[in-house]
Amino acid sequence: MKLTKKYINDLITKYTIISEQIRKFKLPNIAGTLQTYLSKGCYQYYIRIKNPESNKFKRIYLNKSDKNKIQILAQKEYLYKANKIVKKNLKALEYFNKNFDDAALDNLYENTLKPKQNFISPITMTKNQIFKKWRNITYTPKPITDEFIIIAKNGERVRSKSEKILADIFYDNRLEYKYEKPLNLKNLSINPDFTFLDKDTCKEIYWEHFGMMDNLNYVSSVIDKIESYQMNNIYLGERLIITFESSNKNLNYLLVKNLINKYNFLKR
């Protein structure tokens, strides 16, 4: 779970909708609360109700013909308790949303005047520092032996026309990536097509494009690769994004744009 403002706001929206649904839930007004007792392996149902004259509580037995009344009382109790939970969660979320600032520690350092900042060692690296360090990582790319040369907009050579399309979309959207940056998994080293850094979590995100999905041997290797990611706790839709194509199905440009919009970390 990424504890971001968007995530908290999404939860606030969720619980606000639930609160409104509870408010609109209409039930017949039946006084008292439902009680259940187990007797000889069967449940018996009672209404517990207060006598206004004696100020004492009494129980009224409900038989099978009172099934509708039992249902109403059970639903009323559930909604009452659900409403308390929803209100409590909303209050906690709104307080958290107002008071929590994950960027405050970074801002403390980065907003310090340079004459002072030069003498400060931050307790932890700021997210900007982490990103700059990641940006400056150097590595030896895998050799490309194909005689056909394909160059992306950033001047980098890629292996296929589809990878050029992806690289150019990322470039046009100012999404910084590393092409075929080595990744060491357990007992395996691979080179994801594109590697990004989520500036919120400071974790790498991997984008793989699989371009020969009508080749059975290739598909088998794709399955192995995706399983390798997941065996290393890198899951599809979280830190792994994939696109496909085949000989009769090209890379879907609109899908790529939608994926960029879906995964907000790509745009930060």
pLDDT value of position 51: 80
Query: Distance between CA 163 and CA 177 in Å, rounded?
Result: 12
User: How many domains does the chain divide into?
Assistant: 2
Neighbours of 128 (CB within 10 A): 12
- Clarify whether residues 160 and 250 are in a common domain: yes
- Clarify whether residues 94 and 206 are in a common domain: no
Residue 115 lies inside a defined structural domain of this protein: no
- Clarify whether residues 247 and 164 are in a common domain: yes
pLDDT at 102 over 70: yes
- Clarify whether residues 84 and 160 are in a common domain: no
Boundary of a domain, candidates 84, 99, 114 = 99
- Clarify whether residues 46 and 152 are in a common domain: no
Residue with tokens 């399309």: 165
Strands, E assignment, the chain: 33-39, 42-51, 56-62, 150-151, 157-158, 178-179, 183-185, 188-190, 194-197, 204-210, 240-244
pLDDT digits (tens, 9 = 90+) for 9-60: 999 999 999 999 999 998 888 888 999 989 888 889 999 988 877 778 888 8
pLDDT value of position 267: 54
Residue 92 lies inside a defined structural domain of this protein: yes
Give me the domain span that covers residue 29: 5-99
Residue 195 lies inside a defined structural domain of this protein: yes
Residue 82 lies inside a defined structural domain of this protein: yes
Boundary of a domain, candidates 78, 99, 120 = 99
Residue 233 CA to chain centroid, in angstroms? 15
Query: Distance between CA 151 and CA 154 in Å, rounded?
Result: 8
- Clarify whether residues 81 and 141 are in a common domain: no
- Clarify whether residues 159 and 248 are in a common domain: yes
- Clarify whether residues 79 and 142 are in a common domain: no
The pLDDT of 65-89, averaged and rounded, is: 93
More confident residue, 125 or 55: 125
- Clarify whether residues 151 and 243 are in a common domain: yes
Tokens read off for 48: 């517990």
CB 181 within 8 A of CB 215: no
Please state, in angstroms and as integers, the Cα–Cα distance from residue 196 to each residue in 135, 214, 228, 263, 265, following that order.
10, 28, 19, 12, 9
Nearest to 9 by CA among 94, 136, 119: 94
Lowest mean pLDDT among 16-20, 179-183, 262-266: 262-266
Residue 232 lies inside a defined structural domain of this protein: yes
Residue 248 phi, psi dihedral angles, 5° rounding? -120, 10
CB 266 within 8 A of CB 205: yes
Residue 105 lies inside a defined structural domain of this protein: no
- Clarify whether residues 198 and 82 are in a common domain: no
Query: Distance between CA 81 and CA 73 in Å, rounded?
Result: 12
Residue 111 lies inside a defined structural domain of this protein: no
Residue 121 lies inside a defined structural domain of this protein: no
Boundary of a domain, candidates 69, 99, 129 = 99
Long-range pairs, 44-51, Cβ under 8 A, ≥24: 45/70, 47/73
- Clarify whether residues 95 and 154 are in a common domain: no
pLDDT value of position 74: 92
Query: Distance between CA 257 and CA 249 in Å, rounded?
Result: 17
- Clarify whether residues 141 and 90 are in a common domain: no
